[in-house]
Amino acid sequence: MTRQQALRLRSGQALRRAAALLAEAGIDEAALEAEVLLRHALSLDRTQLYLRLGDELPAQADSAYQASLQRRLQREPTAYIVGHKEFYGLALEVGPGVTIPRPETELLVEEALTQARRMLQRAPSVTIVDVGTGCGGIALALASHLPAARVIATDVSPAALSFARRNAETLGLTPHVCFICGDLLSPLRQPIDVIVANLPYVKSSAWLELAPEIRCHEPRQALDGGPDGLRLIERLLRQAPTHLRPGGAVLLEIGYDQGPAATALAAATFPKAAIAVKKDLASLDRMLVVQL
C-alpha cells in the first residue's frame, strides 16, 4: 500500500501521517498544522473533525488534503493555503499581498482598548487610527469592542486595503471603520486620540535569515523596516504630534531588541510624554507606549 493510499483510509490516519511528513520537513507545530489543513479539506471545525477521525477520508477531500500538504511542504504559509487567520477572535481573510496577523500583535489591541476606555470615561467618543492596517485585524478588533469609537485604518497598499474592506464586510463592521489609502498619517486632517500601528520593523540585514514562509511569501514592503528596522516608526513618531489630541497615546509594535532605540526616538519627539516599553509573554520587548 502506498503512502497516498494509506492517507485516504481514515481521517485519523491521514492526520497522523501528515503530521509526520510536516515534522520531517522541519515545520514547527506539525500536528496542529496538519489538523488545520485537514479541517480545511473536510470543511469541519475542530470538534467535528475529532468526532470523525474514524471515518474514511472521501476521495475528494483526500485529494484536496494532499494538494494542501504539498503546498505546505514547499513552505507556503498555512494561512494562505486555507485563506484565513484568526486574530483576536475574528476570522480574517488573508492571502498573497498581505501580512498574516501574529498573536503577539493582540497586545496592541489590548492596550488600545485600555487607553480608549479610559478616554471614554470623560468623552462621548474617541478617534483611533490603525496605521498600516494590512488585512484590518487591529482596526476591526477595536471596532468590534468599541462601538463608541471612530476607527480609521490607513495603508499604503491598495491590495492590503482590499483584504481589510472584505473582512469588514464579512464581519458586519463596514459602518464602523473608515479605510483610507495613504502613507502613514499623511491623508488625515482630523485630531486623533489613539494612534496604533504594527509597522515594518525587521532590519533589512535580517531579511535573509527569516523563515521561508515569511521571506518567500509575505510582502517585504510590509515587514522590512530599513537598516535599523525603525525607518517607518521614526517617520510616524515625527508626524504624530500634529495629529494627537492632548492626553492622546501612540502604541507601536517593535522588535525584541528595539526597546532602547524606539524609546530614544519617542523621547526626542515627545520630551514631556510618559514613555514605556511593554514586553510580550516571552518577556521580550514588544510594544512602545507613548502617553501624552
pTM over the 0.85 mark: yes
At 127 the pLDDT is: 97
How many CA within 13 A on the CB side of residue 221? Answer: 12
179: pLDDT strictly greater than 50: yes
Q: Which of 170, 175, 179, 192 is nearest to 152 (CA)?
A: 179
Percent of the chain with pLDDT over 70: 97
23: pLDDT strictly greater than 80: yes
Computed over every residue of the chain, the mean pLDDT equals 94
Q: What mean pLDDT comes out for the span 200-213?
A: 95
Q: What mean pLDDT comes out for the span 133-158?
A: 97
Q: Are 289 and 251 in contact (CB under 8 A)?
A: yes
Q: Dihedral through CA 134, CA 140, CA 142, CA 148, nearest 10?
A: 130
287: pLDDT strictly greater than 80: yes
- Strand partners for 154: 131, 180
Rounded to the nearest angstrom, the gap between the alpha carbon of residue 85 and the centroid of all alpha carbons in its chain is 8
- Centre a 10 Å sphere on the Cβ of residue 187 and count the other Cβ atoms it contains: 12
Identify the weakest region by mean pLDDT among 2-11, 43-52, 128-137, 178-187. Answer: 2-11
Rounded to the nearest angstrom, the gap between the alpha carbon of residue 248 and the centroid of all alpha carbons in its chain is 24
1: pLDDT strictly greater than 70: no
Q: Which of 192, 204, 211, 266 is nearest to 235 (CA)?
A: 266
162: pLDDT strictly greater than 70: yes
Q: Report the alpha-carbon distance of residue 114 to residue 92 in Å, rounded.
A: 23
Query: Range(s) for CATH 3.40.50.150 in the chain?
Result: 85-291
Q: Which of 217, 287, 246, 197 is nearest to 72 (CA)?
A: 217
Q: Pairing between strand 84-87 and 90-93?
A: antiparallel
Q: Are 110 and 196 in contact (CB under 8 A)?
A: no
At 6 the pLDDT is: 46
Reported as a pLDDT band with limits 50, 70 and 90, residue 8 is low
Q: Report the alpha-carbon distance of residue 66 to residue 138 in Å, rounded.
A: 33
Give the number of residues written for the chain: 292
Q: Report the alpha-carbon distance of residue 255 to residue 32 in Å, rounded.
A: 26
CATH number (3.90.1150.10, 3.90.550.10, 3.90.79.10, 3.40.50.150) of 85-291 reads: 3.40.50.150
C-alpha cell at 100: 498574516
Reported as a pLDDT band with limits 50, 70 and 90, residue 7 is very low
257: left (phi over 0), alpha (psi -120 to 50) or beta: alpha
At 168 the pLDDT is: 98
* Digit-coded pLDDT (tens) for 61-108: 999 999 999 999 999 999 999 999 999 999 999 999 999 999 999 999
